[in-house]
């Protein structure tokens, strides 16, 4: 949570809206912000923290752990047409990497803007591929791992 907040300016520059959601109540979210998150990152997290009591929303998104009664780490990238573009789900013990999240958003935005496709490990400024008959069997000429 705080790791994303630390990169928040960069995500804002990409036009990204963040929503965090757990089974905690909105009151607990407020107190967590006050007593802990605001000490990890100046001003605390700047995005809405949503409440999913009973995990009904998490269940629909396939991330509710009924035995533990919590939503596991599930991250969904949704495009401006309201279509889900990416899903990443982790067990609670391993945190996410906001830099990889940023790279994926940049890749999805590049694809949407250009119609090109981005090869493995693509970063902004690196060549992307123009899919079409001429590229079949010749990716090796333009891209190497």
Q: 23 near 118, Cβ under 8 Å?
A: no
Could you say whether residue 67 binds other proteins (CB under 8 A)? Answer: no
> In the range 86-115, which residues lie near other proteins by CB under 8 A?
86-87, 92-96, 101, 105, 108-109
Binds other proteins by CB under 8 A, chosen from 6, 7, 8, 32 = 32
Q: Which is nearer to other proteins, 13 or 136 (CB)?
A: 13
**Residue 5, token pair as written in the block:** 């907040």
Nearest-10 Cα torsion for 44, 50, 55, 61: -100
Q: 11 near 102, Cβ under 8 Å?
A: yes
Q: Which is nearer to other proteins, 56 or 130 (CB)?
A: 56
Rounded CA-CA distance 30/111 in Å is 37
Q: Which is nearer to other proteins, 117 or 143 (CB)?
A: 117
Could you say whether residue 40 binds other proteins (CB under 8 A)? Answer: no
For other proteins, which stretch binds (CB under 8 A), given 39-47, 119-127, 131-139? 39-47
**Residue 34, token pair as written in the block:** 């006050």
The site map against other proteins for 116-145 (x = CB under 8 A) is ------------------------------
∠ at Cα 118 (122, 13), nearest 5°?
70
Rounded CA-CA distance 101/121 in Å is 12
3-state secondary structure of 125: coil
Q: Which is nearer to other proteins, 18 or 143 (CB)?
A: 18
Binds other proteins by CB under 8 A, chosen from 24, 107, 122, 128 = 24
């Amino acid at each position: 949570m705080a790791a994303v907040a630390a990169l928040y300016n960069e995500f804002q520059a990409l036009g990204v809206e963040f929503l965090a959601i757990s089974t905690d109540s909105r009151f607990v979210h407020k107190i967590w912000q006050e007593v802990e998150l605001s000490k990890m990152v100046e001003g605390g997290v700047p995005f809405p923290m949503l409440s999913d009591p009973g995990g009904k929303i998490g269940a629909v998104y396939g991330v509710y752990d009924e035995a533990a009664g919590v939503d596991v780490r599930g991250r969904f990238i949704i495009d401006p047409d309201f279509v889900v573009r990416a899903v990443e789900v982790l067990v609670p013990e391993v945190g996410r990497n906001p830099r990889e999240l940023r790279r994926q958003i940049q890749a999805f935005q590049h694809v949407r803007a250009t119609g090109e496709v981005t090869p493995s490990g693509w970063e902004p400024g690196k060549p992307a591929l123009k899919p079409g008959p001429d590229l079949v069997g010749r990716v090796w000429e333009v891209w190497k791992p």
